[in-house]
Amino acid sequence: MLDTTPLRDACRDLLEAAATVAESGMRPVPPPDEWGAEQILAHVVIVNAVTLATVSDVAAGVDATYDNRAALYAWNLDRVIALSGGDAGLRERIRLQGEALCALAGSTLSDAELDTEVPTLLLSNGTVLVDQPMPLRVLLKGLAEVEIPGHTRQLLALLPDHALRTAETALSA
């Protein structure tokens, strides 16, 4: 079994950061070539959906792959934002996806399934980070420890310094 506590915590922290940004009443403008809050959330929604599909494929015993490119296309981020109904809908999707990932990965999959090598392609800013098979448990760990916390920090960085310090203090408490 996989301890899903880090994934639950990462999702909770991301959702708290997203709520902080939304409740700030500001529409923070991201730096050039960076995403705004809704684009960040849409990216996480797509990454979570890809991860859920991969986990489901492993559980079903079919060929599984992991490829994050769909989460990088601006047209797809915009599509997910529209289909979700904006910020609140994106946050609800992330909440539900986090619950589903924790339920599937934490109590459904065996250690053998979690150790399944999944052909993986991970890109960021046009750079290939990973292009090799990885165990499913490593993908899930990366989601919990790197991907989601990185986007939590990215959301908080959209806030002015004062609000950022307040939000970071609240999240660390």
H or E element, residue 20: helix 5-23
Name the pTM for this structure: 0.90
Q: Which pLDDT does position 28 carry in this prediction? A: 72
d(CA 136, CA 157): 30
H or E element, residue 135: strand 127-135
Q: What is the pLDDT of residues 74-102, one digit of tens each?
A: 999 999 999 999 999 999 999 999 999 99
What is the distance of C-alpha 105 from the center of its chain? 15
Q: Which residues pair with 118 in a beta bridge?
A: 134
